[in-house]
Amino acid sequence: MMLRDVRNRKSELRRMLRERDRRVGSEERAVAGELICRLFATVSGWESRRTILFFAPLSTEPDIRPLIIRALAEGKTVLLPRFDPEAETYRPARIGAWPDDLVKGRFGVMEPGEDCGFVGFDTIELTLVPGVAFDGRGRRLGHGAGYYDRILAEASGERAGIAFDWQMVEEAPSEAHDAAMDWIVTQSGYVVCGGAGDKKRRPEAAF
């Protein structure tokens, strides 16, 4: 498929998913977020994960703040992306308190403040990844800026897509630089993808 066709499909799918998302009520979204956090803590090998790269959720994304707060309380190394103006990209920075260590970043997304030091990508054991859409083979559709693809290209460890059920699609169009997930968690189940689009297992709660 020609690159232009792939990008046109991405744009159309983003439009469709945003329309779908607008029809979801706040209560349904909140309940789904709670279920995602509960399931994630069950299937992620939580106890053995010591260094985790989270994301500061937007209002349209699953609310994973309870996981961040729990991780801090348990003494885990909690990382969030912080924009590095010198490198013109995001890098992981460590926080010690939520939300005290956060400031509004360059693109309106909450991120660690300047007092929170950057850490190496090679220290990350698990990265939680938001997106506009995911499919059962681990392919992800982002917002189009490519920042998360750059993070995932550098980060060590596994990649876990975090999504609502209504963000799961039959096929997410992808390009060579688009990073695949190792597994994806929604409010009704999880799927192991293998990180290279090679699906290993699918839960009973079918997507």
Element (H, E) at 40: helix 26-43
* pLDDT of res. 108: 86
* pLDDT of res. 30: 97
Element (H, E) at 169: strand 168-169
Say which amino acid occupies 132: V
Tens of pLDDT, residues 71-100: 999 999 999 999 999 999 999 999 999 999
Rounded CA-CA distance 152/148 in Å is 6
Confirm whether pTM is higher than 0.85.
yes
* pLDDT of res. 107: 81
Mean of the pLDDT values across residues 38-44?
Answer: 96
Element (H, E) at 117: none
Tens of pLDDT, residues 18-36: 999 999 999 999 999 999 9
Q: Where are the alpha helices (DSSP H) in 61-139?
A: 65-73
Asked whether residue 196 carries a pLDDT value surpassing 70, the answer given is no
The radius of gyration of the chain's CA atoms, rounded to the nearest angstrom, is 16
Tens of pLDDT, residues 109-154: 999 999 999 999 999 999 999 999 999 999 999 988 889 999 999 9
Q: What are phi and psi of 190, to 5 degrees?
A: -145, 155
Residue 57 near residue 131, CB atoms below 8 Å: no
Asked whether residue 15 carries a pLDDT value surpassing 90, the answer given is yes
Which stretches does DSSP call E strand in 55-144? 77-84, 89-95, 102-104, 110-112, 126-129, 133-135, 140-141
Tens of pLDDT, residues 146-165: 899 999 999 999 999 999 99
